[in-house]
């Protein structure tokens, strides 16, 4: 609902005037942000008024998209792959370019030994962070973890999983009701996984339907396709991050972590030459927006640089 504000922020910081399409679905978040913007533009930030144009129109009005695209020097497209394909059908001027944000996939890597060593208070804080990364957005954000990748020995992982998931379940149970239709969707996703995932998949026991866990035997494209809102998570166990490397595709965006050293994750990612993973962040911070996003330095990308001789600089 507020992706339009991210685009506008980056454009303003790069010195651009913008025409930004907000969602036409009538989200409350859109109205709140737009209302605050109107207040600022009518008072302390009136000088920015010519640079800020926020509009709404139905997504099937391709004629409007084409008219606006013809004006662009840079066109920023947020949405799934289908949205990117549809907007790209509207031609740009020869010197203009696209910055696209399509479908992405994200995961959480957890040190089992770390979970076993956490105090109850520390574990509750981690569970709250995981909740904010996932349930708070119905697992629909591109940054939300869908796979939990456990690192440790078999014995450590066996002991750590119930402790972690019970903390998550306890935190989510009073904050996230599961509607009947979502419960059915989760059940269907589990059955589909059992039928289609290579090596098989099994549902891990939980006391209720707040957290649904699917243990997978292999990491494949089919694992990535296991998606369902409302607290459905694939799980994979390994002794190190190495088993993850062959699975990482260009579509992979955020690797969040709990109990792992980010410097070691960085060294691992660079050493493996991964095509994907554009962000490495601690659990609870997957939705923190940065001006470096999906591999783009947005300020640099949305800026025009004029090359001058040394004496003119």
| Domain extent listing, the chain | 3-103+295-301, 105-288
Residue 132 class from Cβ within 10 Å (0-12 exposed, 13-18 middle, 19+ buried)?
middle
Element (H, E) at 107: strand 105-111
pLDDT at position 200: 83
Question: How large is the C-alpha radius of gyration of the chain?
Answer: 22
Closest CA to 81 of 61, 101, 66: 101
pTM of the model: 0.92
Question: Roughly how many angstroms between the first and final C-alpha of the chain, as a whole number?
Answer: 42
* pLDDT for residue 26: 82
Instruction: Please give the pLDDT value at position 34.
Output: 92
Give the model's pLDDT for residue 199. Answer: 85
Residues in the chain with pLDDT < 50?
A: none
Res 190: pLDDT = 94
- C-alpha distances in Å from residue 112, one per residue of 125, 239, 259: 16, 10, 8
pLDDT of residue 298: 96
With contact defined as beta carbons under 8 Å apart, do 56 and 20 qualify? no
Superfamily (CATH) of domain 105-288: Aldehyde Dehydrogenase; Chain A, domain 2 (3.40.309.10)
């Amino acid at each position: 609902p507020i992706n339009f504000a991210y685009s506008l922020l980056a454009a303003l910081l790069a010195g651009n005037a913008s025409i930004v399409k907000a969602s036409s679905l009538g989200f409350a978040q859109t109205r709140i942000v737009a209302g605050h913007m109107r207040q600022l533009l009518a008072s302390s930030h009136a000088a920015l008024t010519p640079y800020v144009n926020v509009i709404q129109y139905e997504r099937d009005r391709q004629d409007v998209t084409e008219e606006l695209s013809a004006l662009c020097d840079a066109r920023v497209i947020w949405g799934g792959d289908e949205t990117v394909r549809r907007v790209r059908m509207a031609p740009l001027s020869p010197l203009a370019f696209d910055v696209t944000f399509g479908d992405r996939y994200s995961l959480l890597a957890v040190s089992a030994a770390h979970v076993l060593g956490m105090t109850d208070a520390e574990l509750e804080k981690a569970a709250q962070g995981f909740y904010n990364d996932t349930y708070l957005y119905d697992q629909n954000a591109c940054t939300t973890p869908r796979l939990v990748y456990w690192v440790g020995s078999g014995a450590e992982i066996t002991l750590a999983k119930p402790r972690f998931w019970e903390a998550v379940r306890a935190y989510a149970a009073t904050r996230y009701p599961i509607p009947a239709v979502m419960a059915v969707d989760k059940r269907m996703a589990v059955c589909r996984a059992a039928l289609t995932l290579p090596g098989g998949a099994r549902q891990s026991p939980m006391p209720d339907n707040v957290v649904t866990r699917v243990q997978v035997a292999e990491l494949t494209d089919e694992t990535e396709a296991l998606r369902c809102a409302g607290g459905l998570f694939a799980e994979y166990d390994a002794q190190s991050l190495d088993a993850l490397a062959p699975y990482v595709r260009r579509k992979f965006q955020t690797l969040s972590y709990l109990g792992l050293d980010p410097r070691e994750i960085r060294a691992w990612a660079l050493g493996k030459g991964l095509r994907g993973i554009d962000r490495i962040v601690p659990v609870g911070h997957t939705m923190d927006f940065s001006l470096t996003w999906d591999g783009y330095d947005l300020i640099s990308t949305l800026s025009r640089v004029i090359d001058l001789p040394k004496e003119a600089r």
